[in-house]
Amino acid sequence: MQIEENNVKNENDRKKSYLRGYRKHGKRIKRIDAEIKEIRSMKMYPASVNSDGMPHGSGNSDLSSYAAELQEKENELFQEGIEQVKTYNDISYRIKQLEDEDERDVLFYRYIKGMEWWEIARDMDYSESWIYELHGRALKNLKIS
């Protein structure tokens, strides 16, 4: 019996990790965007600094390295956006395969919208304990490869 319970727990953990993938892309996108803003702000206040940490010269800095770094981050942002859309489409498809609408709603609100349990309960007009029950059933019924 203990082995079966561990298998179910491991399977549920694997499904939760899969479902969290969409929001992880969103966090990466925010971080990359913040990095781009930081690169741009540093360019607004150019100070030529050598490896000794001391300012040198007239303040003119190498625009090509700035442009290359910015382009690299913008490409990274674009690719992460593509991955987020792919992940959303895959997760959304799998959630829609669930027969029970409440189960679909719980997974959507939790893993796509990132809502807290109490918010889901409020919006669905159920108790939190019932939301936990629906979540468990939804995980059990969710099919992932």
DSSP assignments along 9-26, one per residue: HHHHHHHHHHHHHHHHHH
Please provide the CATH number assigned to the domain covering 97-145: 1.10.10
Q: List all residues 6 or more positions away from 33 whose beta carbon is below 8 Å from its beta carbon.
A: 77
pTM over 0.95: no
58-110 pLDDT, tens per residue? 444 567 788 888 899 999 999 999 999 999 999 999 999 999 999 999 999 99
Q: What's the number of CA atoms in the CB half-sphere (13 Å) around residue 24?
A: 10
Q: What's the number of CA atoms in the CB half-sphere (13 Å) around residue 10?
A: 6
Q: Where are the domains of the chain?
A: 14-85, 97-145
Cβ atoms of residues 16 and 53 within 8 Å: no
Residue 8 scores a pLDDT above 60 = yes
Q: What are the beta bridge partners of residue 55? A: 49
